Amino acid sequence: MVKYLTTVTAVGEQVSELKEANILIIFNEDAPKELAEISVLHTKEELNAEVRPGDILRIDECDYVILDVGDEVNKNLALLGHCCLKFDNNTGLLPGDVRVDGEIPDIKVGSRIKIYDKERI
């Protein structure tokens, strides 16, 4: 089951700096300018079901198992298309964080971000 599916519309100027810290911040494309500079912006989409540990995050053709989901992630995704993707299993988990383990892929305008339940693709 696809829980969230969106397309990247812009990549903020400061995203590369956060990538060095294994972090990607995503927001709907109507994010304020100061947040847009540090974020991967994407089309507004609906959250079809709650994101949970064990789900799969796919960015283009790269898959990551979701290890942890902060308490505010589902609310933030539904309202703002926002969460902080942490590609590091050694950092603390904040309420708006989704933790996966692996290398951050190249992300560009047109990239697809998908979250799905691995049992029901």
What distance in Å separates the CA atoms of residue 95 and residue 21, rounded to the nearest whole number?
18
C-alpha closest to that of 5 among 43, 54, 39: 43
Q: Model pTM greater than 0.75?
A: yes
Q: Give me the domains of the chain, ranges plus CATH numbers.
A: 2-116 (2.40.33.40)
pLDDT in tens, 30-72: 999 999 999 999 999 999 999 999 999 999 999 999 999 999 9
